[in-house]
Amino acid sequence: MPKIIPISDLRNKSHQVVELCHRGEPVFVTRNGEGELVVMSQELYEEMTARLELYQKLDEAEFLEETGHKGKPHAEVMKSLRARLA
């Protein structure tokens, strides 16, 4: 269940807010009863941005496949990777 706190808790109970964020869920912050901010740990933010980047790459790959793009043969890709690692 999402945790919702008033903005005053960021100042008055910052240590508790940090602990909530490190439990792996974002904390929703309100001002005058309206949504204002979302606070999360850096680890969660990095996971979410990595997942978003992966979804974007998968979407691009699906688009290329649907439009008939053939890509590179496996042997060519492996040769290129081996050359980079050498």
Our count of domains for the chain comes to: 2
Based on the fold, state whether residues 28 and 50 are members of the same structural domain: no
pLDDT digits (tens, 9 = 90+) for 17-42: 999 999 989 999 999 999 999 999 99
SS3 sequence of 4-68 = EEECHHHHHCHHHHHHHHCCCCCEEEEECCEEEEEECCHHHHHHHHHHHHHHHHHHHHHHHHHCC
Based on the fold, state whether residues 22 and 52 are members of the same structural domain: no
pLDDT digits (tens, 9 = 90+) for 56-81: 999 999 999 999 988 888 999 999 99
Based on the fold, state whether residues 20 and 50 are members of the same structural domain: no
Based on the fold, state whether residues 33 and 62 are members of the same structural domain: no
Based on the fold, state whether residues 35 and 58 are members of the same structural domain: no
Based on the fold, state whether residues 11 and 31 are members of the same structural domain: yes
Q: Determine the structural domain holding residue 22 and report its residue range.
A: 3-40
